[in-house]
Chain A
């Protein structure tokens, strides 16, 4: 995470790692035979991937504005995003073929990946500094 400067490369890396981690719940839901959990998880995961792209475009547009205008712009865009989350969760609660909690977990998956990645980086750094001290 530390050496990546380019935002496009960072997005690709985050998406790759998220899909790699979410292979585990996808395969286990297929083995357990609950197709609604599988469908809800995939639904949440696809929506969160698309919203990452929207966030990137919003930030790039906001950086060219002045301060008050950028604040208002990002706030309004966040409420649009909130409405999108509402539509996704509402759809999965109404539709009996999509599991509601699985869709919610799919939306959170990207956040789990980022936090996990940074914790692993922190541990690596700590061990590296301990080893350097020992030498």
Chain B
């Protein structure tokens, strides 16, 4: 039977938490692609209807700010993994 001393167990858990913090940030791909897609569609519709420009820009910015939240979730999880475990 293999047994770990408390120090070894602590080391392994700390290493796994740091590794997990790095992998959590891969989620940042999603909001980047989505926000760029929204900007492209907004540009297309500004060209189609230049009168409605103000409303299109406000809608685009709010949609991008909401899409940003998944990136912030992964950032929060990464910070929690680094600092508390």
Contact = CB atoms under 8 A, between A and B. Distances in A.
- Do chains A and B directly touch (beta carbons under 8 Å) in the complex? yes
Interface string A60-74: 000000000000000
A95 B65 CA distance: 32
Contacts, number: 24
A116 B69 CA distance: 15
Interface string A4-23: 01000000000000000000
Contacts of A5: 53
A110 to B, nearest CB: 13
Q: Mostly helix, strand, loop or mixed at chain B's interface?
A: helix
Interface of B: 53-55, 57-58, 61-62, 65
Interface of A: 1-3, 5, 114-115, 118-119, 121-122, 125
10 contacts: A1-B54, A2-B54, A3-B54, A115-B61, A115-B65, A118-B58, A118-B61, A118-B62, A122-B58, A122-B62
